């Protein structure tokens, strides 16, 4: 990467599937192998060249702010946009960040409960070279981790449909990976001020218009939105010490 892109982390949700643990803790701060999951995630970003992180916080977000502060302990710049008590949804949180002028002209987006072992420089370079307003990373899923929801072909998302109501759902072999990239204009032009608002509709419409680039990851992702997902992530840490990723040219990297 010629420059370090901003990475926006969606970390404002209630984490209802992880109750009772999330009754006193935001999901991204749940302990994983003795440390908050968010530390594993942030350190992965830093080792992939990220130096500018924006957390979109809401439910118990003060715990995230108190833990990371301005990021100086990790030699990275950390900022926050707080939804407050009214949760806005994934798209609504981004719209708020846009109104507060917190978004860079182009940025990466990561869910606060996702660990995505993929080469971020490769993803960013693919986004910049695509000429598209947005990019979604995907994984060849074939129903292994969850229901496939993407038709992917030649570095493009042909159709993304979370509901699988599209007539081409039988062709879906990929799943969204949890890491994406956007031009800020997408947030300005496509997300209304009404809340709550979800990003899935934005991705769906961009895919139908042929304006959603794709990047296929080689390694499985991890998510801590469920007890089973947290166990899988902790197992990966114990098994390989650090989750690895495979780069586009076949090299192996680590967090």
pTM of model > 0.85? yes
Interval 67-87 mean pLDDT? 91
- DSSP secondary structure, 72-120, as one string: GGGTSEEEEEE-TTS--HHHHHHHHHHHTT---SEEEEEETTEE--S-H
194 or 208, which is more confident? 208
> In Å, how far are 25, 91, 155 from 62, measured between CA atoms?
10, 21, 39
Q: What is the pLDDT of residues 95-138, one digit of tens each?
A: 999 999 999 999 999 999 999 999 999 999 999 999 999 999 99
| H helical segments located in the chain | 37-47, 61-68, 89-99, 120-130, 184-190, 199-208, 227-240
Q: Which domains, from first to last, does the chain contain?
A: 6-137+179-245 (3.90.550.10)
Residue 237 near residue 32 (C-beta atoms within 8 A): yes
- pLDDT at residue 221, rounded to an integer: 86
> Structure tokens of 60?
């118990």
Report residue 246's pLDDT band, with 50, 70 and 90 as the boundaries.
very low
Q: What is the pLDDT of residues 126-185, one digit of tens each?
A: 999 999 999 999 998 766 767 788 999 989 999 998 766 665 666 788 888 889 999 999
- pLDDT at residue 245, rounded to an integer: 45
- pLDDT at residue 247, rounded to an integer: 42
Q: What is the pLDDT of residues 198-222, one digit of tens each?
A: 899 999 999 999 999 999 998 888 8
């Amino acid at each position: 990467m010629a420059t370090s892109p901003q990475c926006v982390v969606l970390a404002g949700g209630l984490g209802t599937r992880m109750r009772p643990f999330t009754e006193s803790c935001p999901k991204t701060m749940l302990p994983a192998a003795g440390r908050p999951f968010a530390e594993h995630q942030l350190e992965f970003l830093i080792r992939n060249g990220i130096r500018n992180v924006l957390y979109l916080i809401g439910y118990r977000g003060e715990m995230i702010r108190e833990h990371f502060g301005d990021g100086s302990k990790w030699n990275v710049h950390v900022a926050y946009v707080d939804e407050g008590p009214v949760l806005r949804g994934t798209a609504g949180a981004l719209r708020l960040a846009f109104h507060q002028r917190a978004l860079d002209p182009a940025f990466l987006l990561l869910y606060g409960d996702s660990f995505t072992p993929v080469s971020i420089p490769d993803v960013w370079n693919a986004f910049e070279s695509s000429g598209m307003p947005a990019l979604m990373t995907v994984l060849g899923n074939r129903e292994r981790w969850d229901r496939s929801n993407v038709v992917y072909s030649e570095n493009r998302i042909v159709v993304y449909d979370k509901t699988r109501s599209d007539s081409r759902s039988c062709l879906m072999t990929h799943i969204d990976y949890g890491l994406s990239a956007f031009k800020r204009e997408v947030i300005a032009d496509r997300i209304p001020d009404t809340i709550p608002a979800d990003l899935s509709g934005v991705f769906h419409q961009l895919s139908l218009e042929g304006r959603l680039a794709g990047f296929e990851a080689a390694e499985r992702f991890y998510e801590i939105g469920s007890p089973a997902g947290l166990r899988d992530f902790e197992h990966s840490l114990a098994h390989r010490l650090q989750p690895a990723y495979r780069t586009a040219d076949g090299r192996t990297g680590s967090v």
